[in-house]
Amino acid sequence: MFNKVSRPVSFLVFVALLSIASVVLAGSTFLNGVRIDGLTNQKFEKCTVTIDAKGDVYIDAPGYAVEGGEKTAVSKPQDAQRTTITGMPSKRYWLVKEENYPGKAQYDIDVYINSVWFRRIRSNGEQIIQEVTKYLKPGPNVIHFAATKNVGEKRLSFSPQVYMRVIIGEGNIGGNNVMIENPLVQYKRTANETANFNDEYTITVQ
């Protein structure tokens, strides 16, 4: 019989009260693979919760351990939708960069997600396919693009047909490929442009 859940002293607890899950649902509750049915008066931060079709609740909470509990061999459903108890989206979202003439648009684009800097994307021919699900929340999300012209020593193109595009949307992995099924933002800058831009979009995440 376990006694309590322990955590490192440095691990700050603010936060998400999950004891309601075991009350509302008829299934069992597992913390990092250990069954914790009946455990009360605990709070967990920065955890992921998955609820399977049987109502079993799986809590992945790095930094927590159950004292005196026995590890149970469980098969956590990998493809089950994540519950909004954790504030996580139920779908997967990706950022993809496209260039029809790599390096010639000559723009650097800083991407901000909900007012937090995410990354810089350069017109340099590098392929970028990156999942952004964990940076989003269900409901409205604000995506901001700050595009800066970076000519360097000389202009490589003056054509409006030469572009760099950043796409953010719902997608899935098929084999080794990411397929964007529902593009939510398609942000494009072209080689004939010379100004710097700040553009903002609001997307709805499920």
Measure Cα distances from 153 to 66, 149, 150, 156, 165 in Å. 60, 12, 9, 9, 23
At which of 87, 108, 127 does a domain end? 87
Mean pLDDT, the chain, whole residue set: 79
Q: In a structure prediction context, what are the per-residue pLDDT tens digits for the chain, which is 206 residues long?
A: 454 454 443 333 333 334 434 344 457 887 777 878 777 777 777 677 888 777 778 887 766 666 655 544 444 444 434 433 457 899 999 999 999 999 999 999 999 999 999 999 999 989 999 999 999 999 999 999 999 999 999 999 999 999 999 999 999 887 778 899 999 999 999 999 999 999 999 999 99
Number of domains in the chain: 2
The verdict on 75 and 139 lying in the same domain is no
Tell me which residue range forms the domain holding 129: 93-205
The verdict on 98 and 83 lying in the same domain is no
Measure Cα distances from 191 to 144, 161, 181 in Å. 21, 8, 28
* Cα–Cα distance for residue pair 93/187, rounded to 1 Å: 16
Beta pairing, strands 177-190 & 139-149: unpaired
In eight-state DSSP terms, residue 44 is: B
The verdict on 111 and 197 lying in the same domain is yes
What's the predicted TM-score (pTM) here? 0.58
* Cα–Cα distance for residue pair 102/106, rounded to 1 Å: 9
What is the amino acid identity at position 22?
Answer: S
The verdict on 29 and 73 lying in the same domain is yes
CB 2 within 8 Å of CB 39: yes
Q: Give the pLDDT confidence score for residue 133 in this predicted structure.
A: 95
What size, in residues, is the chain?
A: 206
Q: Give the pLDDT confidence score for residue 122 in this predicted structure.
A: 96
* Cα–Cα distance for residue pair 78/147, rounded to 1 Å: 37
The verdict on 50 and 100 lying in the same domain is no
Q: Give the pLDDT confidence score for residue 22 in this predicted structure.
A: 38
pLDDT in tens, 55-108: 778 887 766 666 655 544 444 444 434 433 457 899 999 999 999 999 999 999
Q: Give the pLDDT confidence score for residue 190 in this predicted structure.
A: 98
At which of 55, 87, 119 does a domain end? 87
Q: Give the pLDDT confidence score for residue 63 in this predicted structure.
A: 65
CB 190 within 8 Å of CB 147: no
The strand order across the sheet containing 116-122 reads 116-122, 107-113, 139-149, 197-205
